[in-house]
Structure 1
Amino acid sequence: MSKSLQEPPGSGPKGPDDYRRLRRIIAEDPLWSLALVPSLSHLCLKSFVRDFEGLTVYEQLSNTQRQFIQERLPPSLPLSVTANVIEDGVYWERCCKQQWDLCDVSRYGDSWKRMFFERRLEGMIELFIPGVTETKKILDMVPLCENYVKRLDISQLLTPIRVPKKGKDEDDNVLGMETDDDYDQMNHFDFCILLEKLTCLEELHLVYRVKQCGLNYEGRMFEMNYKDCQSLSKALKSCKTLKLLRLHQSNIDDAKVQMLVKQLLGHPSLRELDFSHNVIGDLGAGAVGKLLAKSKLEVLSMCDNDITDSGGKAIAQALSKNSTLVSLNLRLNRLRDEGGQAIAEALMNNNTLRHLHLGANEVSGPTAIALAKVIAQNNTLKSINLSCNNLGEDGGKALAEAMSHNTSVTECDLRLSEVDEQIVSSINQVVWTNQGLGKKDRAGLNLTKYKLEDPLRTNQS
């Protein structure tokens, strides 16, 4: 071979390395690169993603390999395929963010899988139309989500589609004369079919109402009826893991509370009960008092109801015997001084209650004086709210005198209570001092715990 063929034109003698630097490959595919050929394991994982529905070796893969698959699986896969196979991780995060704009995973114990199944089941219940939606849809979901649902927050419950009964006089319909006999009773979703099967459920928040009903408004859309109460009572009794029950804005009266309480007596795990914003009167308060005396409730809230002095006395009687309740909220009722004084007297024998809210209860000086005696000798109470009452000068002075000897109360709300501003200021000063003492005590406890947990480090110091 001639020299001219061996060397590029216009160049002198060159070594082998010089020729390698001059060699170039121009690819016809503009996306071609010099990247290495994918490994066989990489190609296998890609095939697993493509054929995941028939995959049986997922649990045998390493964490890194599972992460690779979770990042690439389509969120549209059937839940029957993914629910009990794919663990909590990036796949469920992708599913959540695809379905909802706002995803605060901290409300779900930082578990994306729990968020997905709780919100999915909540949506199915909130859109359930009795008599139209098949209960099979809910029941088919249970085996997929039962291990992950710990809380249900139901913000609406739809009623059946109302169809007039045949044979009704058309003139009555024209005149708008409708009675309860015109339509079937408006029952909501039956929780009996569900709660017993949710073996991890700890919190249940319910509101019997219809959101955005528009011109179709009817009063019965915003209340729990008798049959609803019957079915819910049975469902609550069967849900042995329930710790918190909240029933708001559902027009619950005394009869319904009595029915609910009857099934909750002796409940093994219930610790928090909230019947706020209903129409519960003294009979209902008496029923709750029986529950308080026989259960292990720690938090009870019945604010914004129709409880008067008689109901307050029933709760006070139970409170004097209770040794578990930590918080009692009776705001926006009408206990008056008889009910308020009864609760104060009960606290003389109670060493567990830490938070008491009697705001807007038409109590006055006698109640404040009775509570002052409690404050003077009770070191358990941490917060007292007597706002929006007429405590007067005598009540304010009694509270101020008692607070001057107290070191445990770190919150005392006397806004709009007709107490002199100077007295309120002196009470607030004691509260701030107690707050500082509480911080020092907690710091001391933490230091003691630190020394006990690491004696070697303490000895070195």
Structure 2
Amino acid sequence: MQQPAAGDRRTAVPSPYLPRTSLAAGSYHTHRIIEDPEWSLAAVPHLTELCLQHIVHNFGKNPILDRLLPEHQRKVLDRLSTGLPLAVTANLISDEDYWKRCCTERWQVCDISNYGDSWKRMFFERHLENILKCFIPNTTDPNQVLELIPLCKDYVRKLEVDQFLPPVKVDQKEERDDLSDTVSDFGPSGVSVHHYDLGVLITALPHLEELHLTYGVKDCGMNFEWNLFNFTYQDCNNLAAAVKMCHNLKVFKLTRSKVDDDKTRLLVHNLLDHPCLVELNLSHNLIRDQGARAVGKLINRSRLEILDLCNNQICHLGAQALAQALAENSTLTSLNLRLNCVEDEGGEAIGRALLTNTTLKSIHLGSNNLSETTATLFSQVLAQNTALTSINFSCNPLGLGGGKQLLEGLVDNKALTEFDLRLAEVGQETEYRIHQIVWANWEAARLGSLQHPHANLL
């Protein structure tokens, strides 16, 4: 019987119908040929495919990409592991689909609209943020950050770090109550509790435009100690010097970090005449009147457009200092003083400033213990100021008289489109009539924007 040719995938099996012969006698063993219906030449990979597989497998050692044809580059990028060293991929791979895989495999929630619609930017910003959140001074190797700088510096435009870990304490036998506003820069054992110095990093990021920081520890649970939330004077000094050198910085937010008057003055000193800063957020801190005075100087020594001092301890003296700056300012468009205690003396000062200011569009004075006296002055503001579009007086005891005063001032006002009077005790009827006027202004502004869609661009 004819034997299968070399390379033939057909299988020879003994036939049950033919007699077996003894191999020892030198006779041939009889077989039956069965065809393999699934075998074809297509099962043999093309040489190109074998080469691409080799490139992908050895990409970490020999990253060949630019020399490939576009269709071959696509196949390699689709198969590359997202675990390759950043030293290999950072400045070589710009393909957004690859960085999308890197992001989605690492984080469950990925919204690239917050990152300029760039997956690569999202990856490097969040990767750097995670390193900073977990950095422990005197324990973590600083090279983790330093070695990342040349890889990420062209892609990082915003950093949001909501946690800074302090050094690990050597001695925990002694404990101290740090409820006071002035806290030592040293822990109970005398060990420095300064946090990671951002100076080297943010001054090496040429495209950094936004910096959002909170000095504290998240999810500390039963390990809570006040020292975990100690933004030291040295921390502030390091940060202020770094921000001063960050010439492209537009947005600076330092919140929930126990920033007091001394630290505020230090920050402001380094922000005076900053060439690009347009938004400053120091909300949820410990700023009092002295700190507010310093911020007042900053208002007219910078290009600030948005200032948020919500939930501090600013009283009427601080509000008067801010009002004095506001009366001369021509850049600020939004001021938030919610949850302070400026009272009527501070509220009236701000109202008088708004009689001359022509650029502020939004003012938030909620929860400041304001009464009818402030409402009376703001009645004049509403009658004369044509720049303000949003006022918030919520949670202030303005009273029925205050409500009537505000309503009178609104009669001829065509600019105000938002007016929050919740829990201001102005009376249901007055609040409804004010709402009707503000709603009419809003509708007119909306129709005007539809008729002149490019008006805001002129």
TM-score (norm 1): 0.85
Residues 448 and 390 (structure 1), Cα distance of their counterparts in 2 relative to 1, 3 Å cut: closer
Q: State yes or no: 1:421 paired with 2:416.
A: no
CA deviation profile, 1:108-139 (whole Å, cap 9, x unmatched): 12211111111110110111000001111100
Q: State yes or no: 1:401 paired with 2:408.
A: yes
Residue 223 (structure 1) aligned to one of 224, 230, 233: 230
Partner Cα distance (1:184, 1:176) in 2: 13
Letter in 1 for 2:248: T
Query: What is the CA-CA distance between 1:371 and the residue it aligns to?
Result: 1.4
Comparing 46-55 with 290-299, greater Cα deviation is found at: 46-55
Residues 176 and 313 (structure 1), Cα distance of their counterparts in 2 relative to 1, 3 Å cut: closer
Match of 2:196 in 1: 189
Q: State yes or no: 1:116 paired with 2:123.
A: yes
Match of 2:106 in 1: 99
Residue 240 (structure 2) aligned to one of 225, 233, 238: 233
Match of 1:15 in 2: none
CA deviation profile, 1:46-88 (whole Å, cap 9, x unmatched): 3332332355652354554433222110111110000000004
Letter in 2 for 1:50: H
Q: Secondary structure at the match of 2:453?
A: helix
Residues 37 and 352 (structure 1), Cα distance of their counterparts in 2 relative to 1, 3 Å cut: farther
Match of 1:356 in 2: 363
After superposition, residues 12-411 of structure 1 pair within 5 angstroms as 26-27=35-36, 30=38, 32=39, 35=42, 41-55=48-62, 58-61=65-68, 63-164=70-171, 173=173, 182-411=189-418
Partner Cα distance (1:267, 1:26) in 2: 82
Query: What is the CA-CA distance between 1:396 and the residue it aligns to?
Result: 0.8
Contact 1:223 1:252 in 2 (8 A): no
Partner Cα distance (2:97, 2:80) in 1: 10
Contact 1:356 1:383 in 2 (8 A): yes
Give me the CA root mean square deviation: 2.4
Letter in 2 for 1:412: F
Partner Cα distance (1:124, 1:44) in 2: 37
Q: Secondary structure at the match of 2:66?
A: helix
Query: What is the CA-CA distance between 1:103 and the residue it aligns to?
Result: 1.6
Letter in 2 for 1:133: T
Partner Cα distance (1:93, 1:180) in 2: 43
For these two proteins, the number of residue pairs brought into alignment is 417
Letter in 1 for 2:36: A
Query: What is the CA-CA distance between 1:27 and the residue it aligns to?
Result: 3.0
Partner Cα distance (1:447, 1:282) in 2: 42
Structure 1, unmatched stretches of 5+, are 1-24, 166-172, 453-461
Contact 2:284 2:311 in 1 (8 A): yes
Please identify which structure carries the higher helix content.
Answer: 1
Query: What is the CA-CA distance between 1:279 and the residue it aligns to?
Result: 0.7
Q: Secondary structure at the match of 1:53?
A: coil
Query: What is the CA-CA distance between 1:163 and the residue it aligns to?
Result: 1.1
Partner Cα distance (1:177, 1:401) in 2: 56
TM-score (norm 2): 0.86
CA deviation profile, 1:273-320 (whole Å, cap 9, x unmatched): 000001100000000110001100010000000000000011111111
Partner Cα distance (1:177, 1:325) in 2: 43
Residues 397 and 54 (structure 1), Cα distance of their counterparts in 2 relative to 1, 3 Å cut: same
Partner Cα distance (1:60, 1:241) in 2: 36
Letter in 1 for 2:118: S
Partner Cα distance (1:285, 1:88) in 2: 48
Partner Cα distance (1:437, 1:176) in 2: 62
Contact 2:133 2:163 in 1 (8 A): yes
Query: What is the CA-CA distance between 1:425 and the residue it aligns to?
Result: 0.3
Contact 1:88 1:112 in 2 (8 A): no
Partner Cα distance (2:92, 2:454) in 1: 45
Query: What is the CA-CA distance between 1:101 and the residue it aligns to?
Result: 1.7
Structure 2, unmatched stretches of 5+, are 1-33, 178-185
Q: Secondary structure at the match of 1:52?
A: coil
CA deviation profile, 1:410-432 (whole Å, cap 9, x unmatched): 11000000101101000100111
Contact 1:298 1:327 in 2 (8 A): yes
Partner Cα distance (2:307, 2:241) in 1: 21
Partner Cα distance (1:218, 1:359) in 2: 32
